[in-house]
Amino acid sequence: MSLNIQPAPATANATPVGVITPQELRTEALDGGEIAVVDARTGDRYIQGHISISVELPYGEIETQADSLLPRRSVRVVVTDDDGGDLAFAAARRLLSLGYTDVRVLEGGLEGWQRAGNILITGQYALSKALGEFIERRYHTPRISAQDLHARIEAGEELVILDTRPLDEFHHISIPGGIAAPGAELLYRIFDKVPSPDTPVVINCAGRTRAIIGAQALRNAGFPNPVVSLENGTSAWLLEGFEPARGASAEAARPTPEGVARASEAASTLVDRFGIRTLTKAELDTFRAAENEQTLYLFDVRTADEYAQGHLPGARSAPGGQLVQTTDRFVGVRQGRIVLIDDPDLVRSRITASWLIQLGHEHVYVYPATREELTETGQGDIRVLRDADAAKTIESSELEALLTADEAVVIDLDPPPPYFRERHFIPGSHVARRVTLARNLSRIPGNGHIVLTSGDGAIARLAAAELVDGERPVVALAGGTQAWIAAGLPVKTGLDQPAIDPAEALPPLPTLEERRVSLAAYVSWGDHITDELQKDGLVNFKEGAQ
């Protein structure tokens, strides 16, 4: 993915940072206008407790994430941290320096929020997961246990198991006999996968949410077969001691014309039930002309491959299932406009829209793009909101030579991987965080070059630009770790990278017992989260009309 470096306005640094009280934030969050609440802490701290409508925007990733999360520079932004202290004010000043004009810090931070009688919720992608719990309870989505599914497989019963996770998760570990049909692809591709209307269909994911949402999506669309979700997914399968499939490659093929027609007819039943609005080209043009007055998100909900082959200019790739499962990674502004770009059949966009509407988003639209409109190709640009030209860079071949001569140490600034996934890294590299790097320079071993890397190199370049006056030469690896891997150079896989600061070490993969405890905690969390959100009052999930 290429980088599009955007310079920061030179005069914005002098703008003072205002504050907002908890009561004022609650009032503004409920006034119907656009607002973004961003949490400047790192992922672990965010997961342990945050405001329900807040999204992660860690201080060290602001320049690389702000543009996609907060596309309108004049939107109201409130920054939170633990106590409304240095971190929040530093993040607010950075946002102001990048052109955002209405940025305030929550007075007292999350501690002040709680003192004012408000609650915090826990977990990553908490609202998306809470939606799954809400849906299962409201619609009574049927489910099957891992034990029962295993017995039916062993008995040779005819059934179809569809895995609604992204392909990399499916390839890593899956249910034996499972077929990949990620997210919104489920309804789009399912009609060609079932041999008869009586064949039972099991939808699974790693845990709960995506399977519940996938199964209920089929039921909402009137899919005729009996459909259940696998209770607690591959996690339960492993904890029961059943052997999983590893490296599975079976994928639901692109639908036949007949399959598309049936899927389109099914998806059309969602339009009236959930109030899904379809835009004309003229209406979309009007939205685009007004994006400085009202936030506009353009999401292409087709597969990443389809997006790369041709997409609407300015649209971001957001395959439907991931957009629903990880909405706060895509949408940072409450009450902004969300337009879902799709093929003319609108199957995937209507499914996705139905869930975003139930998640509480008010302004959701679908748009049938013609082939002639899909004029941009490739994976899209990362828009980095800062000029990092001051950073010196070296190519992968140069780094390889320095490492061979023992004249460099590699510092990996990539954030920890989600869901305990292993990561690919340069052998001998050390983990660090951009936000603490300056104060940890003395911990870096050796006395040669300090070479910073990150996934695509963006964070590394920004950090290198900040450390150009250090005692040791500091450079960034051009293209980051992805470029190193693309060059065919040695790479390790795992979570055993040593950390410069022990407090920032990557978490190890959990043991079986830790997984059991974690799953029990997740189930317990699900039993209470919808009640907590109702008490919180900032987010209201919606049911479709019957």
CATH number at residue 50: 3.40.250.10
How high is the pLDDT of residue 469?
A: 62
Phi, psi of 330 (to 5 degrees): -115, -40
Domain boundary among 367, 382, 397: 382
> What pLDDT score does 420 carry?
53
Six-digit token string for 472: 């040791």
Sign of CA dihedral 341, 344, 348, 352: positive
Q: What is the pLDDT of residue 516?
A: 86
**29 and 116 housed in the same domain:** yes
Domain that holds residue 299: 270-382
> How far apart, in whole angstroms, are the C-alpha atoms of residue 336 and residue 297?
7
Whether the CB-CB separation of 340 and 276 falls below 8 Å is answered with no
Assess contact for 133 and 105: CB atoms under 8 A. no
The answer to whether residues 396 and 312 belong to one domain is no
User: Is 261 in the same domain as 133?
Assistant: yes
- Using the 3D structure, point to which of 250, 266, 282 is the last residue of a domain: 266
Verify that 28 and 62 share a domain, yes or no: yes
Does residue 443 sit in the same domain as residue 492?
A: yes
pLDDT of 8 reads 39
Q: Where are the beta strands (DSSP E) in 269-369?
A: 277-278, 296-300, 316-317, 337-342, 364-368
Chain-centre distance for alpha carbon 107: 28
Write out pLDDT tens, residues 190-220.
999 998 999 999 999 998 899 999 999 999 9
* Residue 474 placed within a domain: yes
Name the stretches of the chain with pLDDT < 50. Answer: 1-13
Q: Is residue 521 part of a domain?
A: no
Report which secondary-structure segment, H or E, holds 160: strand 160-163
* Same domain for 282 and 358: yes
Angstrom distance (rounded) from CA 450 to CA 492: 20
Structure tokens at 159: 């059934």
Residue 519 located in a structural domain = no
Say what the pLDDT of residue 3 is: 40
In a domain, 528, yes or no: no
Asked whether residue 374 is domain-assigned, the answer is yes
| 149 inside domain | yes
pLDDT tens for 215-245 read: 999 999 999 999 999 999 999 999 999 999 9
Residue 132 shares a structural domain with residue 119: no
pLDDT for the residue numbered 347: 97
Q: Which of 287, 470, 305 is nearest to 366 (CA)?
A: 287
Q: State the pLDDT at residue 12.
A: 41
Q: Which residues contact 342 (CB under 8 A, 6 or more apart)?
A: 300, 301, 302, 348, 349, 350, 366, 367, 368, 369
Q: Residue 529 domain-assigned?
A: no
**Within this chain, do residues 146 and 22 fall inside the same structural domain, yes or no?**
no
| pLDDT for the residue numbered 10 | 38
Q: How many domains does the chain have?
A: 4
Shared-domain flag, residues 456 and 349: no
Domain boundary among 246, 266, 286: 266
Q: 260 and 275: one domain?
A: no
Residue 27 counted as domain residue: yes
Give the model's pLDDT for residue 92: 97
Whole-angstrom Cα distance, residue 500 to residue 442?
Answer: 9
Which residue carries 């490739």 as its tokens? 378
Same domain, 357 and 404: no
Q: Are 234 and 321 within one domain?
A: no
Pairwise CA distance, residues 365 & 354, whole Å: 10
Q: Decide if 482 contacts 414 (C-beta within 8 A).
A: no
Q: For 334-360, how does the pLDDT look when each residue is reduced to its tens digit (9 = 90+)?
A: 999 999 999 999 999 999 999 999 999
